[in-house]
C-alpha cells in the first residue's frame, strides 16, 4: 500500500540510475546499496525505471524486479514513484498494477512514442493506465518522447488520477500557468537539472532529475537555499551543478554518473549497451575536468571532495 499522498511528494527526487553487474544484469545488492546511499543523503523520494534508469533497455520482468527491490529497501521511509511507460498500453498497465501491489506511492509515464500517436491516442493511453490502479499518475513531458502543449496537459488533468506532471521542458513560465490553471494541488516537478532554480522560482513543487543520483547533496543545498530565500547561495550551487553536468554530457552521461558514484565509494556497475562506459583515457579526462571545476569555487560537494 502507498504510504504517501501525492501532495507530500516534494523536494529533491533523484531519477535513479539502475545498477547492473558486469554481465549487464540487474544487481540487487548494488541497487539496495544505492537506495540506502540516497536515503542517507536525505533525498525526498525516488523516481525509478525511467530513462535515467535505462528502463527502456530492460524487459518487463526486470522492471518489476527493480520495483520490488526498491520498494522493499525503502520500506516506506520516502516516496517511490515508478515509471511505467512503454509504447504499448497493455504493458504499461501490467507494470502499473505491479507497482501498486508492491507499495509504490505514484506512477509516471512518458507518452507513447516512436509512432506519431495523435492527441486522442495519447489521452486514452494515460486514461487507461490511470484507471488501472488507485495510484496518482504523474505525466512526463519530455523532449525525447515529444513535448505536449498546455492544452493537452490541461486535457490530461481531467483524468481523475492524473495528479501531476514531470515537466522537463525549459519554458518554465508554463509551470506557473499550469499551477494557476489546475490549482496548487496539481503537482509540478521541474525536470531540467540545469534549471533547478528556475523551476523552483516558477513554483514547481519539487525537482526530479538524473544528476541527483550523483549530486544529491548539491541539489538539496539548492532546494533548501531557495526555500530559505537565499538566492545568491542557490545561484552559486546551481553554477557548480551546471559545470559538472556540462562536463558529464561530453560522455554517455549515465555512465559518467555511475563512474562518479564509484569515486564516492559506491559500486553501481556500468551501463547497458548500446550505452558506452568511459574508456581509461576518458575517465582520466573526466576526473581532470572535475578537478578544474573544484578549483573554481570556495565550496565543494561530495563528488568533488571524493576525487583527487
What integer is the mean pLDDT of 169-177? 90
State what percent of residues in the chain have pLDDT above 90: 91
For residue 239, is it within any domain? Answer: no
For residue 281, is it within any domain? Answer: no
Name the active-site residue from 140, 189, 223, 253.
Answer: 140
Residue 150 reports pLDDT greater than 70: yes
CB atoms within 10 A of CB 146: 14
- List beta partners, residue 47: 15, 81
For residue 220, what is the domain's CATH number?
3.20.20.70
Distance CA 221, CA 90 (A): 40
pLDDT value at position 238?
Answer: 98
- List beta partners, residue 12: 207
Three-state SS for 89? helix
For residue 263, is it within any domain? Answer: no
pLDDT value at position 114?
Answer: 81
pTM for this entry = 0.96
Return the C-alpha cell found at 162: 492524473
pLDDT value at position 71?
Answer: 98
For residue 276, is it within any domain? Answer: no
Residue 52 reports pLDDT greater than 70: yes
Active site residue 297: no
What integer is the mean pLDDT of 245-251? 96
Using only the alpha carbons of the chain, give its radius of gyration.
18
pLDDT value at position 142?
Answer: 66
Active site residue 125: no
Residue 8 reports pLDDT greater than 60: yes
pLDDT category, 2, cuts 50, 70, 90? confident
Name the active-site residue from 166, 179, 221, 294.
Answer: 166
For residue 264, is it within any domain? Answer: no
Contacts of 81 (CB under 8 A, 6+ apart): 9, 13, 45, 46, 47, 48, 104, 105, 106, 107, 108, 138, 208
For residue 286, is it within any domain? Answer: no
CB atoms within 10 A of CB 283: 17
The 10s digit of each residue's pLDDT in 86-140 is 989 999 999 999 999 999 999 999 998 888 888 999 999 999 999 999 999 999 9
DSSP labels for 115-129? S---HHHHHHHHHHH
What integer is the mean pLDDT of 2-18? 95
- The number of domains in the chain is 1
Residue 278 reports pLDDT greater than 90: yes
For residue 150, is it within any domain? Answer: yes
Range of the domain at 130: 6-228
Long-range contacts of 2-6, Cβ-Cβ distance < 8 Å, separation of 24 or more = 2/100, 2/103, 2/104, 2/105, 2/106, 2/135, 3/76, 3/79, 3/103, 3/105, 4/79, 4/105, 6/105, 6/106, 6/136, 6/138, 6/163, 6/164, 6/187
For residue 111, is it within any domain? Answer: yes
Amino acid at each position: 500500500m502507498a504510504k504517501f499522498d501525492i501532495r507530500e511528494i516534494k523536494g529533491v527526487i533523484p531519477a535513479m540510475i539502475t545498477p547492473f553487474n558486469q554481465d549487464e544484469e540487474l544487481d540487487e545488492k548494488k541497487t539496495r546499496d544505492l537506495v540506502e546511499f540516497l536515503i542517507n543523503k536525505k533525498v525526498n523520494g525516488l523516481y525509478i525505471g525511467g530513462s535515467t534508469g535505462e528502463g527502456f533497455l530492460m524487459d518487463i520482468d526486470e522492471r518489476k524486479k527493480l520495483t520490488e527491490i526498491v520498494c522493499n529497501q525503502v520500506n516506506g521511509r520516502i516516496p517511490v514513484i515508478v515509471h511505467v511507460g512503454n509504447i504499448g498500453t497493455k504493458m504499461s498497465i501490467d507494470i502499473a498494477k505491479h507497482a501498486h501491489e508492491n507499495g509504490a506511492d505514484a506512477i509516471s509515464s512518458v507518452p507513447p512514442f516512436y509512432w506519431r500517436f495523435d492527441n486522442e491516442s495519447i489521452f486514452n493511453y494515460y486514461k487507461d493506465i490511470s484507471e488501472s490502479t488507485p495510484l496518482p499518475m504523474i505525466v512526463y513531458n519530455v523532449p525525447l518522447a515529444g513535448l505536449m502543449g498546455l492544452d493537452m496537459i490541461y486535457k490530461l488533468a481531467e483524468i481523475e488520477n492524473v495528479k501531476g506532471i514531470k515537466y522537463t521542458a525549459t519554458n518554465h513560465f508554463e509551470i506557473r500557468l499550469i499551477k494557476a490553471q489546475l490549482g496548487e494541488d496539481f503537482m509540478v516537478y521541474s525536470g531540467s537539472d540545469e534549471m533547478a532554480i528556475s523551476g523552483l522560482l516558477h513554483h514547481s513543487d519539487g525537482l526530479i532529475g538524473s544528476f541527483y543520483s550523483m549530486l544529491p547533496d548539491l541539489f538539496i543545498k539548492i532546494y533548501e537555499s531557495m526555500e530559505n530565500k537565499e538566492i545568491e547561495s542557490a545561484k552559486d550551487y546551481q553554477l557548480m551543478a551546471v559545470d559538472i553536468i556540462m562536463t558529464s554530457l561530453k560522455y554517455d552521461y549515465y555512465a559518467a554518473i555511475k563512474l562518479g558514484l564509484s569515486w564516492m565509494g559506491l559500486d553501481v556497475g556500468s551501463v547497458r549497451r548500446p550505452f558506452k562506459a568511459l574508456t581509461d583515457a576518458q575517465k582520466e579526462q573526466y576526473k581532470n575536468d572535475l578537478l578544474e571545476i573544484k578549483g573554481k569555487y570556495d565550496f565543494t560537494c561530495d563528488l568533488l571532495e571524493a576525487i583527487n
